[in-house]
Structure 1
């Protein structure tokens, strides 16, 4: 008893400086002393807690519960070790350095080679608008406008060919592929990739239209130009689709970078899980997610019993004292979860088994579900302490019986079971993320994907994407750039007819699809630009895809900003 009193006295004496500082107007020196004293007090309290926790485990009846309560308090208020703090800062710095390298590569090309064809097409378009609107003026002024347009455009009529070369560049060439570099710069954010790639396709369409009008104004035959323009536009659109597919199939590095930037050592673990889950669900919405955040095993945090998490099938990201593990699986239908649950419960997983044995036993289990081994029916396994720490997910616990709904449920399922016990802590648990019906049965996702006149491809397992036939585009090839062409014609008030596209006409007659809105906000508009600028080439700039201050951009021009140098 005397030793316990002495321990309490020491704890109080080390915390005394925390409460002795002038609260009204403390100096910076007093604030620094108070902070150091608070850290010392907290560290000493943790040490006392460990001693008490160890001693109380041997006390009959209430000892285990008291020890567990002390450990829970220590987990809720951990002391950040200086080494862990430095490690966290270094990891974040490495991520920022990688992001800077990606940004530097983009800026190098965007400010130089890439911006040339883009700015040439945009500025030529403004000059063409001026020409079309001046055709009703006097013949002298009309000829002046024609000469001005011809003089400028004769120097940049190969802009579509140059843009095509950048978009179709092969890995073996010395030219960076524009689509790949842009997708990487955007962090493989599919929403932003879709909008940026649409802008590039529209730009190619606009360039081809300018070429055809240029030939018509000269009185030249445009047939060869039309065929050539359609071919390079089709090849460019296909190259952009391939860049998009590569991003989808190789997104693990981007996911890790995103998670590291979301981790905050000072946040409660459950809040980190919710934050990461919300971000991943929005950005990578082709997948269902299970997110777990816990104390890094090799950190200096205590107690060690609370760091015994076992994860299989997860992407693990460590930053300082926090580890975030995420498991992903393609979305689908879920009618087999009840059968998977019964199979897991038939695998002799006793509650007293070590939690580290759960996943090996599931792998070895001979139970089957619809002819598939149990090991083929789940994506990930996580063992953890305390049932309310199973992680964040949009899944629900598997039902006991298969649903008899007319529409198959789309919500993913998990199984939660018990395993082992930690002295002074209590029961431990495990959670299993169950695969979709399509993934369990190995169904090709393209069998359920209608791409219209396009082609369905599978860039990575159980993810379907549409490769559209130019000039169609959209998630299911349901839109066409011909609508954009009509908008261009309306914009200039031109008397020139747009070149017909027989392939599209046939396709539209066979598949009547809803057309996209033609409101001006959905298309790049002419910029108020000084057409007499002696240096008309602008600099292509792209905003970072991070949603700074919670603001999203409203149109393509917000990303690709042509500014006169």
Structure 2
């Protein structure tokens, strides 16, 4: 189902395009009405392009600068058609299309618009430009409907004048200021506030990005109508609107990127809130992992829950029931929850890693010494030491109380449909082989301990730099950014380029959309 921002853009693009060719009725001996019908088809092509762009933004593994630029060359004269009238056939077509699209938009907004759930937005400065844009957009809908129904030209002009005299042209400029501001002022940077209030949840960030983009689409569209009505339209004003929309989208991208690279503080706080000492440890581990999988779903997660004091022995370390290496450990009310994450990927190398680990850790190794033994192991997988092929190690002497969504790495990699199903850990059907479970000694001569190793994906094992396989264009278009802590890379584009690989720009967007409709049926 299309987003509210997408529904709006399809409508506004329809209105932008439907009248932009009426200035030269004799060109190529094609009637004005025929040209308008052709432009309806062009709008459909634009709609397809926008659907592809918005859907890609919402489903992409990594965030990217998603922006539909201001369509300055297509600034609408729809008000002139409504005021001056048109042939009956084309007028009814326009009226029908507008009515259908506006009704669809209103339905989508009612069902899908982002809910502002904190007082900072509702009572703060950010709320004001949003309300101004939304109110103006509602008034614009009413104006178009009234102009098509009214027959007296003087009354039509009066309706139009009332709309533009009350229009607040600076609403998008204010929203742009709040998203891009630096330094100390009376209001905080909106992107920073969003990151904090949304706790860096990617799904929410994406929805807010679409929502804020829709405000710029609406505001800038009406700004162009205003400039045309007041005879203040210029390339400079159009370029300014476009740049403001771009910089605002860049602020949302930067916030999204920072959340991915630095969200561990939010994760720690949320895990702490989920710890309940009344829960059984396995239930606790499952509860935390389910939340993390849902909220931060770009990662594979492993969670371990245990009684803190049972694993804090410093002198006689064999008494520790759990040892977690490379995990992030959160403790509350005497309960510890250790969480680990790695970027999702393929795992055809898991069998090789398993064999290398088995060579490093013999069954006679004491459980608490397994992590140290693996850290210093000199076995290789491809060109990497074993220590570089896994994410975390968990050793335990009784029950695991761990939760993950994987199966045991096989000795020989079978076909995908031959993978066994192991639901012992958390009650779910797990089919990805990136876990190795080995034996270890609880204490000298006492068997029964186990160690679990979370094996990295093929992409992390075989690719030293995630940017090496990501094309962001030339230095003029953009550059790849990544972090050492998380195997994630993304393109940061330079103005005026945008898109997942910084390949889009105002010029090639217009060319791609409108070339699709150059050979329409007569």
Q: Calculate the TM-score normalised by the size of structure 2.
A: 0.65
Q: Which residue of 1 aligns with 2:408?
A: 397
| Secondary structure at the counterpart of residue 324 of structure 1 | strand
Q: How does 1:75-90 map to 2 (within 5 A)?
A: none
- Conserved in 2, the CA contact under 8 Å of 1:106 and 1:182? no
Residues 1:462 and 2:473 aligned together? no
Q: CA separation in 1, counterparts of 2:251 and 2:218?
A: 18
**2:277 partner SS:** coil
Answering whether residue 463 of structure 2 is matched by residue 442 of structure 1, we say yes
Deviation of residue 306 (structure 1)?
7.5
Q: Distance in 2 between matches of 1:151 and 1:468?
A: 38
Q: CA deviation at 1:381?
A: 0.8
DSSP 3-state at the match of 2:331: strand
Q: Deviations over 1:119-151 (max 9, x none)?
A: 111111122222222224234433432332233
CA deviation after TM superposition for structure 1 residue 468, in Å: 6.9
Name the CA distance, whole Å, in 1 between partners of 2:500 and 2:433. Answer: 23
- CA deviation string 1:291-340 (max 9, x = no partner): 1111112799xxx9875311111011111132110111111221221221
The answer to whether the 8 A contact 1:394-1:412 is kept is: no
Q: Which residue of 1 aligns with 2:509?
A: 504
Q: In the comparison of the two structures, how many residue pairs are matched?
A: 383
For the pair 1:242 / 2:225, whether they are aligned, the reply is no
Name which one, 1 or 2, has greater alpha-carbon Rg. Answer: 1
Q: Whole-Å Cα distance in 2 between the matches of residues 452 and 149 of structure 1?
A: 44
| Residue 345 (structure 2) pairs with residue 345 (structure 1) | no
Within 2, Cα distance between the matches of 1:293 and 1:330?
22
- 8 Å CA contact retained: 2:467, 2:480: yes
1:214 aligns with 2:218: no
CA spacing shift, 1:365–1:422, aligned 2, 3 Å: closer
Tell me how far 1:464 sits from its aligned partner: 3.0
CA distance change for structure 1 residues 436 and 417 in 2, over 3 Å: closer, same or farther?
same
Which deviations, in whole Å up to 9, do the C-alpha atoms of 1:239-296 show, x marking residues without a partner?
1111110111111111112212222212111111122111111111111111111111
Would the alpha carbon gap of residues 472 and 266 (structure 1) be closer, same or farther in structure 2, given more than 3 Å must change? Answer: farther
Contact 2:472 2:491 in 1 (8 A): yes
Residues 165-196 of structure 1, C-alpha deviations (whole Å, 9 max, x = no match): 11112356665221221122111111111011
The residue number in structure 2 matching 1:321 is: 334
Work out whether 1:282 is the aligned partner of 2:294. yes
Cα deviation 1:35-93 (Å, max 9, x = unaligned)? xxxxxxxxxxxxxxxxxxxxxxxxxxxxxxxxxxxxxxxxxxxxxxxxxxxxxxxxxxx
**Which runs of no fewer than 5 residues in structure 1 stay unpaired?**
1-103, 481-500, 513-565
Q: Which residue of 1 aligns with 2:265?
A: 253
Separation of aligned partners in 1, 2:318 and 2:459? 39
Is 2:153 the counterpart of 1:148?
no
Tell me, in whole angstroms, the C-alpha distance in 2 between the residues paired with 1:305 and 1:261: 31
1:420 aligns with 2:441: yes
Kept in 2, the 8 Å contact 1:449–1:456? The answer is no
Structure 1 residues 230 and 266: CA distance shift in structure 2, 3 A: same
Would you say 1:133 and 2:145 are equivalent positions?
A: yes
Residue segments in structure 2 that go unaligned for 5+ positions in a row = 1-115, 420-429, 518-522
Q: How does 1:177-256 map to 2 (within 5 A)?
A: 177-256=189-268
Shift of 1:410: 9.2
- Counterparts in 2 of 1:405 and 1:272: CA distance versus 1, 3 Å: closer
Rounded to whole Å, the distance in 2 between the matches of 1:360 and 1:305 is: 14
Q: Does structure 1 conserve the Cα–Cα contact (< 8 Å) formed by 2:311 and 2:321? A: no
Change (3 A) 1:176 1:148: same
In structure 1, distance between residues paired with 2:163 and 2:433? 59
Distance 1:234 1:452, change over 3 A: same
Match of 2:309 among 297, 300, 306: 297
Q: Evaluate the alpha carbon distance shift between residue 133 and residue 353 of structure 1 in structure 2; reply closer, same or farther with a 3 A threshold.
A: same
SS at match of 1:325: strand
- Quick one: which of 367, 386, 389 aligns to 2:379? 367
What is the root-mean-square deviation in Å for CA atoms of aligned residues? 3.9
Deviations 1:408-467 (A, max 9, x none): 999351211122225999611111111112212334434555789985744433213355
Going from structure 1 to structure 2, the CA distance change for 1:428 and 1:265 (only over 3 Å counts) comes to same
Contact 2:318 2:367 in 1 (8 A): no
3-state secondary structure, aligned to 2:147: coil
User: Which SS does the other structure have where 2:339 is aligned?
Assistant: strand
